């Protein structure tokens, strides 16, 4: 980090500097307010609109719900971060025990002091939240029987005709029960956040029905494409999906969903437009029989993944038809977890019709 040009965060018109301090177990981020000195009187107009700050007999109090997995970043190594926050803002910060879901309670003599502590906690937590792996994702399911049958034909034919090509083997194919189009990923760290995401998904139903006119969308899944620049060194091969009537309804729905969840603070925007693709082969699925990871799957990691040669597959199956089907819903699904059908466990869903 350039100390003369530190990263800045703008929250409600106030500018904060993020100072990164290397710690033994994680990076602790110190967020400093770049306005009037906080050692002076707090400005009375510094208040937080997103949380209710209650006046009490002893001053002011604010309770905020945060996932327990994030407590350690507010506490810091040996409690240093919390002590510094309390000293700088002249407040007291009560945090539940690690692993216990509850509310973080901030108390102080001045309302602006409580608001300042709350803002600094929110900025600190948001920085570390981005480092957590995603837990859920929005998707259009493709596990329709017709598409599954088309995928199975594709898999069987590829293994029969291209198994001698470098890196091509059965374990890198998608599970047909899990075929889907990813719209976006979310990091939901407790049940409260999952419920909030489900509520926001329900709010999207009105604009989706406006786009679809309350009808399912007929999709044509035909053709395959690869992600990177070299067809001889491919990590992800995906099926191309188009709306049968040639419209951009599906793209519009996906982009509006991302816009809504980004605005709600539940998703981070990665691209200007959602790239809709149905993964059929992925080297992250590859299993090495000589390796046993913690889960006993032997799956490779990003750093050790082995690419495959897709040139013959693209030449032979470039226009493979997986089939057509009517798409009628979008799911909020839990990563890794699957239901009795083999598809990802759904935390919530809405229909187009």
Contacts of 149 (CB under 8 A, 6+ apart): 323
CB of 312 within 8 A of CB of 115? Answer: no
Sequence-distant (6+) residues with CB within 8 A of 247 are: none
The β-bridge relationship of strands 59-65 and 103-108 is antiparallel
In this predicted structure, the answer to whether residue 293 has a pLDDT above a threshold of 50 is no
Whether pLDDT at 220 is above 90: yes
pLDDT of residue 295: 40
For the stretch 149-159, pLDDT in tens is 999 999 999 99
Mean pLDDT estimate for the chain: 86
Q: What pLDDT, on a 0 to 100 scale, did the predictor assign at position 128?
A: 87
Please report which confidence band the pLDDT of residue 299 belongs to, taking 50, 70 and 90 as the band edges.
Answer: low
Cβ contacts of residue 315 below 8 Å, gap of 6+?
Answer: none
pLDDT at 28 over 70: no
Rounded mean pLDDT, 104-126: 93
Q: Assign 286 a pLDDT band (cuts: 50, 70, 90).
A: very high
Residue 303: predicted pLDDT: 61
Average pLDDT score over residue span 333-343: 91
Instruction: Please state the domain extents for the chain.
Output: 8-129, 136-351
Task: Give the mean model confidence (pLDDT) for residues 181-196.
Answer: 94
User: CA 179 to CA 190: how far, in whole Å?
Assistant: 26
> pLDDT for 13-23, tens place per residue?
455 565 554 44
pLDDT at 130 over 90: no
Mean pLDDT of 41-52: 52
For residue 324, count CB atoms less than 10 angstroms from its CB and return exposed for 0-12, middle for 13-18, buried for 19 or more.
middle
Angle, nearest 10°, between helix axes 80-89 and 111-129?
A: 150
CA neighbours closer than 13 Å in the CB half-sphere of residue 100: 8
pLDDT band at 287 (very low <50, low <70, confident <90, very high): confident
Which CATH class, in words, describes the domain spanning 136-351? alpha beta
**Mean pLDDT along residues 152-180:** 97
| DSSP per-residue letters across 174-202 | PPGGG-EEEEEEE---SHHHHHHHHHHHH
What local confidence, expressed as pLDDT, does residue 91 receive?
Answer: 96
Domains 8-129 and 136-351 equal at CATH topology level: no
Cα distance between residue 263 and residue 156, in whole Å: 43
- Contact criterion met (CB below 8 Å) for 5 and 17: no
For residue range 229-267, list pLDDT tens digits in order: 899 999 999 999 999 999 999 999 999 999 999 999 899
Percent of the chain past pLDDT 90, that is, above it, reads 70
> How does DSSP classify residue 26?
S
166 — pLDDT class (breaks 50, 70, 90) = very high
**Fold (CATH) for 8-129:** Ribosomal Protein S8; Chain: A, domain 1 (3.30.1370)
pLDDT of residue 27: 44
What's the pLDDT score for residue 38?
Answer: 41
């Amino acid at each position: 980090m350039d100390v003369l040009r530190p990263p800045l965060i703008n929250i409600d018109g106030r500018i904060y500097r993020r100072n990164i301090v290397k710690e033994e177990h994680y990076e602790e981020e110190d967020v400093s307010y770049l306005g009037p000195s906080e050692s002076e009187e707090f400005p009375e107009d510094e208040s937080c609109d997103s949380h209710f700050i209650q006046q009490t007999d002893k001053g002011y109090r604010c309770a905020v719900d945060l996932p327990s997995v994030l407590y350690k970043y507010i506490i810091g190594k040996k409690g240093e971060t919390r002590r510094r926050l309390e000293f700088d803002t002249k407040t007291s910060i009560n945090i539940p025990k690690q692993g216990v879901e509850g509310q973080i309670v901030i108390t102080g003599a001045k309302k602006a002091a409580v608001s300042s502590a709350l803002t600094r906690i929110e900025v600190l937590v948001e920085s570390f939240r981005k480092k957590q792996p995603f837990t859920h994702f929005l998707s259009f399911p493709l596990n329709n029987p017709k598409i599954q049958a088309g995928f199975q034909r594709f898999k069987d034919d590829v293994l029969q005709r291209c198994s001698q090509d470098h890196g091509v083997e059965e374990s890198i194919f998608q599970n047909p029960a899990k075929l889907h189009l990813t719209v976006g990923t979310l990091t939901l760290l407790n049940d409260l956040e999952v419920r909030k995401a489900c509520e926001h998904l329900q709010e999207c139903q009105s604009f989706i029905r406006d786009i679809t006119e309350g009808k399912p969308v007929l999709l044509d899944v035909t053709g395959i494409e690869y992600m990177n620049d070299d067809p001889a060194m491919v990590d992800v091969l995906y099926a191309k999906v188009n709306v049968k009537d040639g419209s951009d309804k599906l793209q519009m729905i996906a982009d509006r969903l991302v816009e809504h969840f980004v605005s709600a603070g539940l998703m981070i925007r990665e691209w200007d437009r959602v790239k809709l693709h149905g993964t059929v082969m992925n080297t992250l699925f590859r299993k090495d029989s000589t390796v046993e990871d913690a889960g006993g799957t032997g799956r490779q990691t990003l750093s050790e993944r082995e690419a495959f040669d897709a040139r013959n597959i693209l030449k032979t199956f470039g226009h493979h038809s997986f089939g057509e089907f009517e798409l009628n819903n979008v799911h909020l699904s839990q990563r890794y977890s699957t239901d009795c059908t083999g598809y990802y466990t759904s935390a919530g869903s809405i229909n187009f019709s």
